[in-house]
Every structure is written in structure tokens, then in C-alpha cells.
């Protein structure tokens, strides 16, 4: 019996290639090496949480970020996000995020230790950034490890309205695409002799904005339309029940991480009620 988890993402495309090759007299097995390589990559893929677990944890982190709480709950949430990234095989990314959080946390403590008119204008901004840091950290891991097909299947099983499914699936691919577009524009600026650096921004702020932000914003508007059209072409807004190549199931890791993040949310609630000082 076939295991649908092992079918590559581009299986329909491979089938079309085989059919076209057969029509032209070429052997239909020409796509077999590519399919075999994709199956091998799939077998060695990183571990990932179930998309439904990721969405539930993301909701918990928003509660932690925007509820009045203690700094140690924020640190606990960031530590759990780092543990999740390490479990998913993204240890280097976890270390980078932890280093960034340490810098932000240190800056917020420094601002609090030396209150004056200059630091007061930055204090609120730094604290808000520190509070929502765990949300961005976990969201980046979810985007990096969750396939669009898995997310669409999970949202349909959760009976999310079709418009919400389309919006979330497009957003899941929009942010990685945005990063690639930004890198491409920065590389083009470097070729033109205007490398993107803090010194360049300080010396030529208007010229930097013109050469960076204008092409990025115009390109992103086009990319958003392209991603939406691609999702619609793949039938994401179809009224028929969706089938998926991916077998979604809750595992022990899903239960463990959901329980750990839930424990942090419970601590936040107890702090709010005054049970924990």
C-alpha cells in the first residue's frame, strides 16, 4: 500500500512531464531520477510540528506577549521557542535568535537602569519589541518548517473559512519570498556600486530609500498577486473537499510542546490573578 507521505510535492508536474515525454516518443521514466531524489530528500527531512499545534502555540505566544506578566515568563517562552527550533533541526537559527534576544533584553535592562529624557523615547519601543520577540521567533520557525499543503489541509480540518485558508497559505509563502526579493534588490544595488550598509544609509538616506524601498515595494505588490493566483490555480479555493499528499497526525512532540507552552500561559494567568507574585 502506498505511503502518501513519500509522494513528492511536484508529483502532478512529474506526471505531466512523463505524459508529454510519452507523447513525444521519449521514455516516461525520464522523470524517475528526479522523483527518487525528491523522495530521498523527503526521507531525510527535518522534524516538524503539526500545523495545528503550531497555530495553537502561536496563539498562546500572543497571549503571553500582550498580557501583563513578569520578565521570566518571556524568557521561558523564548527558551521553549529555541527548544522547538533545535528539535526541528534548526540549531544555528535558534542560536542566532537567542543572541538577538539577549541583545534586546540587555538593551531594555540598560534603558531601565539609566532613565533620562534621551532613553525614555526608546524605552517603550524596546520593551514592546522584547515582548513580541517570542512570537516572531516561533512564527519564523513555523514558516521555515511547514509546507503550504500541510497548512491548507490542517486549516480545512479545523473548519476554517475558505477565505482564511487562502489568506494564511499565501502569507506563509509571502514572507520567504519577500526576503528573497529584498536580497535580490540589495545585490543589484551592490552591482551598481551602492552596497547596502549602515554607512551608506547615513550618508545617502534619500538615495538608499529610492534604490531599495521603491523596487522592493513595487515587486512585492506583484509577488502578492502572483502567489494569490498560484494558490487559486492549485484549487485552494475550491468548494470540494481537499485531499492532501501529507498525513497529518499529532505526535508525542506535539503534546509535549503544547503542554509546555500551555504551562507558561497558565503561569501568566496566575500572575494576572495575583496567585503568583
The whole-angstrom separation of Cα 139 and Cα 156 is 20
Same domain, 78 and 139: yes
Specify whether 35 is located in the same domain as 129: no
Same domain flag for 66 and 111:
yes
Angle at Cα 244 formed by Cα 47 and Cα 139, nearest 5°? 45
Q: Which of 137, 40, 156, 151 is nearest to 93 (CA)?
A: 137
Q: For position 86, what pLDDT does the model report?
A: 95
Residue 39, helix vs strand vs coil: helix
pLDDT at position 114, please?
78
138 and 25 in a single domain? The answer is no
**CA pair distance 85, 57, nearest whole angstrom:** 13
How far is the C-alpha of 144 from the C-alpha of 48, rounded, in Å?
10
The whole domain housing 13 covers 4-43
Interval 41-85: pLDDT, tens: 443 446 888 888 999 999 999 999 888 888 899 999 999 999 999
Instruction: Please tell me the predicted confidence (pLDDT) of residue 195.
Output: 75
Of 70, 67, 95, nearest to 82 by C-alpha is 95
Are 144 and 268 contained in the same domain? yes
Shared-domain flag, residues 15 and 103:
no
Query: Count of domains in the chain?
Result: 2
Residues 89 and 17 in one domain: no
pLDDT, one tens digit per residue, over 93-119 is: 999 999 999 999 988 888 888 777 777
CA distance 70 to 272: 10
Q: Which helix (H) or strand (E) holds 72?
A: helix 71-87
Q: Where are the alpha helices (DSSP H) in 146-249?
A: 148-157, 162-191, 198-203, 205-233
**Are 195 and 178 in the same domain?**
yes
Question: Which segments in the chain show pLDDT lower than 70?
Answer: 1-46, 236-239, 241-242, 277
Cα atoms in the 13 Å half-sphere on the side-chain side of 157 = 16
Regarding whether 126 and 75 lie in a shared domain, the answer is yes
Same domain, 64 and 110: yes
On whether both 198 and 102 belong to a single domain, the answer is yes
For the chain, counts of helices (H) and of strands (E) = 12, 0
Q: Do 27 and 102 belong together in one domain? A: no
Amino acid at each position: 500500500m502506498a505511503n502518501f507521505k513519500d509522494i513528492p510535492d511536484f508529483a502532478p508536474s512529474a506526471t505531466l512531464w512523463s505524459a508529454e515525454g510519452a507523447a513525444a516518443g521519449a521514455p516516461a521514466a525520464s522523470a524517475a531520477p528526479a522523483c527518487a531524489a525528491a523522495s530521498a530528500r523527503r526521507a531525510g527531512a527535518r522534524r516538524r510540528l503539526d500545523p495545528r499545534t503550531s497555530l495553537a502555540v502561536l496563539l498562546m505566544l500572543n497571549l503571553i506577549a500582550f498580557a501583563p506578566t513578569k520578565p521570566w515568563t518571556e524568557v521561558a517562552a523564548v527558551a521553549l521557542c529555541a527548544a522547538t527550533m533545535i528539535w526541528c533541526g534548526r540549531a544555528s537559527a535558534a542560536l542566532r535568535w537567542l543572541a538577538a534576544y539577549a541583545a534586546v533584553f540587555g538593551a531594555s535592562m540598560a534603558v531601565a537602569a539609566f532613565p533620562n529624557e534621551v532613553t525614555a523615547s526608546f524605552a517603550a519601543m524596546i520593551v514592546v519589541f522584547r515582548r513580541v520577540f517570542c512570537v516572531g521567533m516561533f512564527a519564523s520557525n513555523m514558516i521555515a518548517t511547514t509546507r503550504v499543503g500541510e497548512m491548507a489541509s490542517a486549516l480545512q480540518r479545523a473548519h476554517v473559512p475558505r477565505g482564511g485558508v487562502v489568506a494564511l497559505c499565501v502569507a506563509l509563502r509571502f514572507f520567504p519570498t519577500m526576503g528573497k526579493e529584498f536580497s535580490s534588490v540589495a545585490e543589484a544595488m551592490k552591482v551598481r556600486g551602492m552596497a547596502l550598509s549602515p554607512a551608506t544609509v547615513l550618508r545617502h538616506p534619500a538615495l538608499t530609500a529610492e534604490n531599495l524601498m521603491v523596487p522592493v515595494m513595487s515587486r512585492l505588490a506583484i509577488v502578492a498577486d502572483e502567489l494569490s493566483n498560484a494558490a487559486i490555480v492549485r484549487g485552494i479555493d475550491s468548494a470540494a473537499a481537499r485531499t492532501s499528499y501529507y498525513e497529518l497526525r499529532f505526535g508525542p512532540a506535539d503534546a509535549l510542546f503544547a503542554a509546555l507552552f500551555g504551562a507558561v500561559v497558565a503561569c501568566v494567568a496566575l500572575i494576572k490573578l495575583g496567585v503568583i507574585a
